[in-house]
Structure 1
Amino acid sequence: MDPFGLVGAWTLARRVVDRTADSYGSVTGELVVTADGDGVRLAESGVLHWQGGRYPVTRVSLLRPLNGEWWMFFDDGRPFHPWRPGSPVVHPCGADTYRGLVALDRDGTRLRTLWDVHGPAKDQRLITRFTRH
């Protein structure tokens, strides 16, 4: 999938499950994808609803070509994971491990991500639905 096909505004709905604390929360907001040089910039903004509180959240990621394939990078330039919709990906983060899956509907109107995080610091599941405006 050509990441430039993601350009536009998307509604963001994320479910956050913290299995260690037996807590659940959600993020509602928006993803704005813009062309940025040889790749695209993904800017999330929204509100985390967690344990009775509401907290503003933001995140910026970059999709860039690397060695003949697309990679997701953190906004500071560190590699996160290969961009392979439909195929599992793994990202070690300190002592924790993120195992993820990105799925894009054929018509390009819905994008879903699933992350299972396991390790000494975290035991979480993050399920996100992005719907094109």
Structure 2
Amino acid sequence: MDPLRLVGTWNFRREIHDHRDGAEYTAHGTARFTRQDDGRIRWSEHGTLDWVSGSTPVSRTLFLVRDPADDERRWRVTFEDGRDFHPWTAGAVEHLCGRDLYQGGVAASEELATRWQLHWRVTGPEKDYTMRTTYLAP
């Protein structure tokens, strides 16, 4: 999936299930994908995280960058500070964060113009949860 097709504003809904204590969380908000002068795509999210006893504002910023190791035909996701996160691919990806393993990927279909998903299964000594985010065109 070409990340240039994501440029614009999307609404998102994120569902998180903590396998350790059974807690359920949902987040909802807006994701903006903005092309930067240096060719990167800034991916910023702002929203609200809700759980049974409360809610809190949440935000994050990632970047989609062309992968120079592959003649810039492929893309990678980086954290805001430039650290590598994972390849941008519709296939399965993994990211080791300390001793916790993130396994997931992007799911897109012909409906990409209106909908796509990102899912993670995170396991390790510090984390054990499933997270699925659906992005919808406004």
In which range does the TM-score fall when normalised by the shorter chain?
A: over 0.9
Ranges in structure 1 where 5+ consecutive residues have no aligned partner: none
Aligned-residue sequence identity (percent) comes to 36
C-alpha distance in 1 between matches for 2:2 and 2:127:
32
In 1, the alpha carbon distance for the partners of 2:137 and 2:43 equals 13
| Map 1:20-59 → 2, pairs under 5 A | 20-36=20-36, 37-59=38-60
- 5+ unaligned residues in a row in structure 2: which ranges? none
- Give the match's secondary structure for 1:38: coil
Matches of 1:14 and 1:81, distance apart in 2: 19
Q: Deviations over 1:59-91 (max 9, x none)?
A: 101000121221000000000000012x00000
Contact 1:3 1:39 in 2 (8 A): no
The corresponding residue for 1:118 is: 123
Aligned pairs (5 A) from 1:84-99: 84-85=89-90, 87-99=91-103
Using structure 1 for the length normalisation, give the TM-score.
0.95
Residue 51 of structure 1 and its aligned partner are, at CA, apart by 3.4
Aligned length: 132
Q: Would you identify which runs of 4 or more consecutive aligned residues in structure 1 move more than 4 Å?
A: none
SS for the counterpart of 1:120 is: coil
Kept after mapping to 2: 8 A contact 1:4/1:39: no
CA distance in 1, matches of 2:43, 2:109: 18
Q: For 1:126 and 1:51, locate their aligned partners in 2 and report how far apart those are by CA, in whole Å.
A: 17
TM-score under structure 2 length normalisation: 0.92
